[in-house]
């Protein structure tokens, strides 16, 4: 017993610095609830059109990517076509960070979308990270049994290029706030307040563009 206890203590001392390092990105008062690097495939995701997603190379590893701009999915209301939702995971308040690369320059509406508090195909929020903002691009949107409607009047451009970018979504369901960060994790990219939807699914995708996604982390309150 004594030897076991000593071994456990020695191990915990050895492991502590590693754990502390791994937790560097964890927001205060939150814990890591989900992590995906796509190195073992994409089985944890349910897409609106499986034929439009595949695993792409990302350095020595893999990313999950959209193949083309067209989709077999016809949403009930005007809203994004290409969606991959997490199976078996829901969150109410959360912080999600990930990396996104936009593959194709399609102009002002070149976008990636992130979905959250997703109830079903006609009830969810998403952020449309569109290159040039207007009421249909570069806004936080709500789909509430009607075509998508902007919740923001964002004027910030989203500077897509051929590189990977870091995006963070912060949802506080109690306060009602939704905050989006792009590369600069200290400066707001866009923000709004809405309490229509609570606990729901999370997803990645695009309205009609082509992106790779990798290194997704979701933190929830402890």
Is 212 a residue that touches Ca ion (CB under 5 A)? no
Is 36 a residue that touches Ca ion (CB under 5 A)? no
| Residue ranges with strand state E in 48-188 | 53-58, 61-66, 82-86, 94-102, 111-120, 123-130, 140-144, 149-150, 164-172, 177-182
Is 111 a residue that touches Ca ion (CB under 5 A)? yes
- Asked if 18 and 40 touch (Cβ cutoff 8 Å), the reply is no
Is 56 a residue that touches Ca ion (CB under 5 A)? no
Is 109 a residue that touches Ca ion (CB under 5 A)? yes
| Window contacting Ca ion (CB under 5 A); options: 1-9, 35-43, 48-56, 178-186 | 35-43
Alpha helices in the chain (DSSP H): 2-22
Residue number with CB closer to Ca ion (58 or 93): 58
Is 61 a residue that touches Ca ion (CB under 5 A)? yes
**Exposed e or buried b for every residue in 129-146, given b needs 16+ CB within 10 A?**
bbbebeebbbbbbbbbee
Is 37 a residue that touches Ca ion (CB under 5 A)? yes
To the nearest whole angstrom, how small is the minimum distance from the Cβ of residue 132 to Ca ion? 10
Q: Which residues bind Ca ion (CB under 5 A)?
A: 37-38, 61-62, 109, 111, 207-209, 214
């Amino acid at each position: 017993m004594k030897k076991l206890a000593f071994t456990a203590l020695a191990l915990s001392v050895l492991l502590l610095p590693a754990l502390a390092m791994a937790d560097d990105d964890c927001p205060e008062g939150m814990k890591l609830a989900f992590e995906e690097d796509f190195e073992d495939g994409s089985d944890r995701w349910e897409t609106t059109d499986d034929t439009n997603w595949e695993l792409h190379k990302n350095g020595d590893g893999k990313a999950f990517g959209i193949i083309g701009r067209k989709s077999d999915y016809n949403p009930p209301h005007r809203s994004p076509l290409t969606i991959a939702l997490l199976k078996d995971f829901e969150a109410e308040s959360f912080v999600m960070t990930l990396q996104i690369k936009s593959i194709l320059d399609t102009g002002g509406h070149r976008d990636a979308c992130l979905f959250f508090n997703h109830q079903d195909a006609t009830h969810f929020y998403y952020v449309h990270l569109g290159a040039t903002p207007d009421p249909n691009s570069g806004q936080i949107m709500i789909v509430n049994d009607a075509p998508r409607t902007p919740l923001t009047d964002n004027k910030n451009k989203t500077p897509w290029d051929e590189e990977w970018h870091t995006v963070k979504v912060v949802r506080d369901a109690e306060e009602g706030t939704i905050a989006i960060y792009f590369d600069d994790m200290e400066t707001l990219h866009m923000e709004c307040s809405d309490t229509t939807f609570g606990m729901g699914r999370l997803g990645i995708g695009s309205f009609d563009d082509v992106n790779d996604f990798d290194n997704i982390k979701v933190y929830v309150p402890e």
